[in-house]
Amino acid sequence: MVKLLNDYNMKLKAPVLHIFEQPIYPRELCIIDGYDKSFMDDNFEFTDGCSGFFETQHALDNYKAVVFGDFQKYTSIRNKKNEHYCIPIALVDKKLITVRVAAHEATHAALQFWKQIGESPTGIEADACLVGWIADCIWQVKTGIFNNS
């Protein structure tokens, strides 16, 4: 039996959105502590109007964190509240986030940054800096310790 995420999330706390501004690239990093499809639909939109947010418990069970856009055919996602383009990452359960998971998701998110601004990964310092910054942001949300830089 497939349960809707909203049924599952009634047992969890409400998602919390953390927005990190990248000082170089024209995209925000939106890290969501928790996952709820209605929260995602209320706060984000694919620029072509389609929705690709997970709806079933099965999808949720397969991920500790999800970078949206990376596995979709849509290239850009916008924060509905401030209308900025962003890379949303949902931490399904931050207790499950390890350094390995943070680095893994940061790599997906960095690829989304490049894809959304029409560039290709360089394979050099720019990629390493971007992945490091994203992993640090994920870790800040995981630990609740924010460096405000």
Cα 53 from Cα 72, distance rounded (Å):
9
Q: Report how far residue 50's alpha carbon sits from residue 105's, in angstroms, rounded to the nearest whole number.
A: 23
Across-strand partners of 29? 20, 87
Spans of the chain, pLDDT less than 70 = 1-12, 48-62, 69-75, 149
Pairing between strand 77-79 and 16-21? unpaired
Residue for token pair 């990376």: 70
Q: Which residues neighbour 106 within 8 Å (Cβ) at sequence distance 6 or greater?
A: 131, 132, 134, 135, 138
Indicate yes or no: pTM above 0.85. Answer: no
Distance CA 78, CA 87 (A): 8
The pLDDT, as a whole number, for residue 33 is: 95
**Structure confidence at residue 40 (pLDDT):** 87
pLDDT digits (tens, 9 = 90+) for 121-149: 887 888 999 999 999 999 999 999 998 75
